[in-house]
Structure 1
Amino acid sequence: MSFNVLVCDDSSLARKMAVKSLPDGFAENVFQAANGAEGMDVLMQNRMDLMLLDLTMPEMDGVAVLEAIKAQGIEVFVIVVSGDIQPQQREKVMSLGALDFLPKPVSQPALQSVLERYGFILTEALAG
């Protein structure tokens, strides 16, 4: 099964790393946004299954994006990928509906572990 994925981060390098961290064949379509406002535009125009979201961005930060997603009832699973790993920030994004929180830079094993935990991908043992 393939998913539509949105990577929203103001750093082009971080977006590229996030895209490369997705398991092979996981994403049917990968969209990218350089800030939260662009990310919301993508979400309003396309059905996304998963969003990898940075917190610290210009125009509209990740917390504001999560608040808008919640307020507008947009159905998308969100994994926050941020360098801001303070416990209170993690609690806030989780209370706003984020599925999980990964520290930057995102690694393929960490992302794959989260995707397996929430049933996006089956482990080799289950798939075999």
Structure 2
Amino acid sequence: MPIPVTIADDSALSRKTIKRALPEDWDITIHEAKNGVEALDAVHAGLAEVLFLDLQMPQKDGFEVLKELQQEHQKTIVIVISADIQPAAQALVSSMGAFRFLQKPLKADQLRETLLDVGLL
């Protein structure tokens, strides 16, 4: 059964880049979210067992999404993909339950390694 995956990023180009980096042999269904509200809607609809999350988005940013997921005790595996590489931001998302922080531009080998680490591949 395919794993439901949501890519949450306000940039269509970034969403496309993430889709291209995903392993071809990974059995998934992909959904997209353009902001944090849509990302949370996807989680609540069961469309985000795995959530690739940007930090800088309109309506609700990635930090707000992580906070809500943490408060709701959601079991979603969150992998943050962001250009904001400040150590404080990385530490904060980790403390809020994100599995990993990957830097934009995303590299396919880093993503594959992350998916292996979490046991998704």
TM normalised by structure 1 equals 0.90
Identity among equivalent positions (%) equals 36
Give the equivalent residue in structure 1 for 2:49.
Answer: 49
- Match of 1:125? none
Between the aligned partners of 1:48 and 1:90, the Cα distance in structure 2 is 22
The letter for the 1-side match of 2:7 is V
Give distance in 2, aligned partners of 1:46 and 1:27. 16
Offset, 1:20:
1.1
Does the 8 A contact of 2:53 with 2:80 survive in 1? yes
Q: What is the root-mean-square deviation of aligned Cα atoms in Å?
A: 1.2
* Residue equivalent to 2:71: 71
- Structure 1 unaligned blocks of 5 or more: 122-128
Instruction: State the AA in 2 paired with 1:5.
Output: V
- What does 1:17-96 correspond to in 2, within 5 Å? 17-96=17-96
Residue 25 of structure 1: how far off its partner (Å):
3.1
- Separation in structure 2 between the aligned mates of residue 119 and residue 28 of structure 1, nearest angstrom: 14
CA contact (8 A) 2:43 2:49 kept: no
Distance in 1 between residues matched to 2:27 and 2:83, nearest whole Å: 24
Structure 2 partner of 1:16: 16
Matched to 1:91, the amino acid is A
Q: Give the distance between the partners of 1:49 and 1:9, measured in 2 at CA.
A: 16
Query: CA–CA distance in 2 between the matches of 1:2 and 1:20?
Result: 17
Q: Could you tell me whether the CA contact under 8 Å between 1:4 and 1:27 is conserved in 2?
A: no
